Amino acid sequence: MSASSPLYLTLAERLAVLIKSGTFTAGDRLPSIRQTSREHQKSITTVLEAYRILEDQGLIEGRQRSGYFVKPPEILKGQFAAAQKRPATPIVVEQSAIFEAVMDSVADHQVVHFASAAPDDSMVPHAKLSTISHAIGRRLGPVALRYTPPMGHRVLRAAVSRKLLGSGIDAGPDQIITTQGATEALLLALRATTKRGDIVAVECPTYFGILNLVRDLGLKAVEIPVDPVTGLAIDDLERALKKHRIAACLVQPNFQNPLGCLMPDDHKKRLAALSARHGFTLIEDDVYGELSHHGPTPSSIALFGGDVIHCGSVSKTIAPGLRVGWVVPGQHLAEIKRLKTIQAPWNASMSELIVAEFLEAGGYDRHLRRIREVYLAQCTRLREEVIRHFPAGCQVSQPRGGFVLWLEMPPDFDSEVFAVRAIARGISVIPGSLFSSSGRMKNYVRLSCGRVIGERETAAIATLGQLAAELMQR
Ligand SMILES: Cc1ncc(COP(=O)(O)O)c(C=O)c1O
């Protein structure tokens, strides 16, 4: 189809590909006209016209007042239906000595937790998940516990494929590989696009897990500043691209950890264009994308083209212990499949089946609506407590999604000393130094609002405020 084809024809063709590749299978209801219009950024009339074409092609049928459904493929006689802020110089990433102490504190139940960016137990839909788990056990018996195929269970890949339409990603189940959390997805993406000694661009600040992978793979990092409102500073990336041969850029466009900011669509478009022009891969980490505080789920950079590998998981939205994630490798499919087959050829079978069913029929959308509201309320509450208890001279971020706060303290503040003293008082926080390798974030602190904020947490924030004031007086 040429670029000048009418919009409705282009849309009809995209939807037909999704049906033929198994994203939607016989009997599935297509998203409503309004939802498709929003997801594909097309007018209602364009969507209506595209659906009419699909009806004419015999792919879907409209049912009165119920929507549009995928028709079973017609089986012809004798034929079977087919199975379906400034660019820094590249630096070697060092392991921070405090990393393990902070991680150990996360496992300690006596500690008041502001360190771990994990959902509170009360946010995990465990009753529903265990009902689903029992039903799967009854239905499939030991079959549910076999090895998964290397790309992951197809039911899960189909469910993820449908879910990703909400972010503007058109990827059928055969273009998705499920992984053990987003961490494995990011590792595969980096292994497929870089080799030892290569330079990658990372956000500054960024999630420390990304820096750990960069270090372990023997890569060098160029740190690109993150704007607290619009995310990765694209002008700075462009300058870095002129100076260095950058193999990949790791970016969290939606509700970045730790800043909680959201990259506007026109920046995403620019990034995609830069990737195409300079020939580097954008590794998109989108674990918080569905946790918008206001407004719909934002789009993936993949919507705008370029060489994008999309990584995600259910760790922030359903439960981190399921270890279910995915990678949409785009043009790196064959290589990522090859690496996955060697590195960890199988995933947790039962977890995959549970997540597939929860996404499809377990009330996932309702669950998501609830947790978004709770996270907004918790971030607002924790922010107010910080403003009340921390000394003048501290700033606190205003996230647009997700559930972490980023605190800026005066320039000579040592967040590692602060974190050690906090642990000694039974409170865990993450020092900003873990979010950058160049020492630029030493005067920052990350607080997670994943946990419900009760009296114990409020008292802990007052203690942290006092500790901060003591450190600032020295
Ligand atoms: C930005 C970001 N990416 C990836 C991860 C890791 O996700 P998973 O637990 O699915 O491996 C985290 C967890 O904190 C994160 O914050």
Query: What letter would DSSP give residue 383?
Result: H
CA atoms of 345 and 60, how far apart (whole Å): 36
CATH (one of 3.40.190.10, 4.10.95.10, 3.40.640.10, 1.10.3720.10) for 126-362: 3.40.640.10
Question: What pLDDT score does 1 carry?
Answer: 47
Q: Per-residue pLDDT tens for 55-75?
A: 888 888 888 778 898 886 554
- Rounded Cα distance between 345 and 151, Å, is 8
pLDDT tens track for 428-451: 999 999 999 887 899 999 999 998
Atom of ligand 1 nearest to the CA of 185: 11
Can you give the pLDDT at residue 343?
Answer: 92
Alpha-helical runs (H) found in 41-141:
44-56, 99-106, 126-140
Question: Exposed, middle or buried: residue 234 (CB in 10 Å: 0-12, 13-18, 19+)?
Answer: buried
The per-residue pLDDT for 417 is 93
pLDDT mean for each 10 residues of the chain (474 residues): 72 84 77 88 89 87 84 48 49 72 76 92 95 97 95 97 95 97 98 97 96 96 95 96 97 97 97 97 98 94 96 98 98 98 95 97 92 94 92 91 95 93 93 89 95 93 96 85
For 31, which DSSP code?
A: P
CA of 372 relative to ligand 1 center, distance in Å: 17
Q: Which of 186, 224, 230 is nearest to 205 (CA)?
A: 224
Query: Which residue ranges have their beta carbon within 6 Å of ligand 1?
Result: 117, 181-183, 207, 209, 252, 257, 285, 287, 313, 315, 320, 325
pLDDT at 77: 34
Probe residue for ligand 1, chosen from 102, 178, 180, 183 as the CB with the greatest number of ligand atoms within 8 Å:
183
Domain 95-123+366-473: CATH superfamily is Aspartate Aminotransferase, domain 1 (3.90.1150.10)
Q: What is the pLDDT of residue 58?
A: 83
In testing the pocket of ligand 1, which one of 283, 316, 326, 347 has its CB within 8 Å of the most ligand atoms?
316
- Tell me which CATH code domain 7-70 carries: 1.10.10.10
Is the model's pTM score more than 0.85? no
Q: Where are the domains of the chain?
A: 7-70, 95-123+366-473, 126-362
Residue 427 three-state SS = strand
Determine the distance separating the centroid of ligand 1 and the alpha carbon of 218, expressed in angstroms: 21
Helices (H), 309-363: 333-343, 349-361
Which atom of ligand 1 lies closest to the CA of 256? 1
Give me ligand 1 centre to Cα 402, in Å. Answer: 12
